[in-house]
Amino acid sequence: MSLDESWFSEPVPEHGTAFSLKIRHKLHEERSAFQKIEVYETETFGNLMVIDGCTMVSTRDNFIYHEMVSHPALFSHPHPRNVLIIGGGDCGTLREVLRHACVETATQVDIDERVTRVSERYFPELCESNGDPRAQLHWQDGIKWVKEAAPGSCDVIIVDSTDPVGPAEGLFSLPFFKDAFRALAPGGLLVQQSESPLLHTKKIIRPLHDTWKEAGFADVRTLHFPQCIYPTGWWTATLACKDAPIRFAREREAENKPFETQYYNADIHRACQATPEFLRRALG
């Protein structure tokens, strides 16, 4: 049984699930040096970007993901001046990071420039901060960039990657995490998208906790949020502090933030760190 051509569907055969959106037509298709990039106009979710057959971002719900991989980490750091984003080629995370006036530099390193160029055309709202003088965009290998980063040069590192396959596989490895640990300043935070707890607890979330602790991080927590275009609609980002317990360092600022968000607020910040019982048992 298959859907007709008026639907885009992302199946996950090993888990017996699929996500589908009804589409009007395909807006763009290309194969970059690294991956296949497609953009569809959907009936109810605006534009949809697909990379190598996997849903990446939609106009309607991207704000949840971008806010949740950015603001919990930034409000958990007392003075996040220098932020490094690995991946994030659609530039939505960069936009959220630059909402914080205390950020002095936001460096985005993505291996595929074409993702950004396609986003500029079909998701211009995500790219509205690309011209901010604090923004630095580089299209290079993020693993190599972190390996060569000066020790203590980053306050926050955000790994806004695709699934841990292909070009992104090395972003889930112990050598990369050790390099990130070294690149972080005292009190520094690392945050990384960590897939669905319903599908990936054993394969990704638990190994991530174990590997980050092996790399030297003092505290690791997984944050939960909805993301309907991703498998199961339940997604996570995992947050770690280099040398101290994670705390809500800028709680008052979050409660009275000088910029608008659509999902994140101080209550969400507190609530997203609650751990469901099945995950608590899995994490030991």
pLDDT digits (tens, 9 = 90+) for 120-146: 999 999 999 999 999 999 999 999 999
Q: What residue type is assigned to position 5 of the chain?
A: E
Nearest to 52 by CA among 72, 26, 32, 77: 32
pTM, two decimals, is 0.95
Question: Tell me: the pLDDT tens digits for 249-258?
Answer: 999 999 999 9
Q: Which of 90, 112, 160, 179 is catalytic?
A: 160
Interacting residues of 115 by C-beta distance below 8 A, sequence separation 6+: 32, 37, 49, 51, 89, 90
Q: Give the sheet arrangement for strand 17-31, strand by strand.
A: 7-12, 17-31, 36-42, 47-51, 54-58
- Top pLDDT among 19 and 4 is at 19
Q: Structural domains in the chain?
A: 7-58 (2.30.140.10), 62-283 (3.40.50.150)
Q: What are the beta bridge partners of residue 26?
A: 40
Report the chain's C-alpha Rg in angstroms: 18
10, two tokens: 């992302």
CA 87 to CA 96: how far, in whole Å? Answer: 14
CA distances, 228 to each of 18, 21, 45 (Å): 11, 11, 11
| Rounded Cα distance, 97 and 48, in Å | 22
Note if 160 is an active site residue.
yes
- Write the pLDDT tens digit of every residue in 61-108: 999 999 999 999 999 999 999 999 999 999 999 999 999 999 999 999
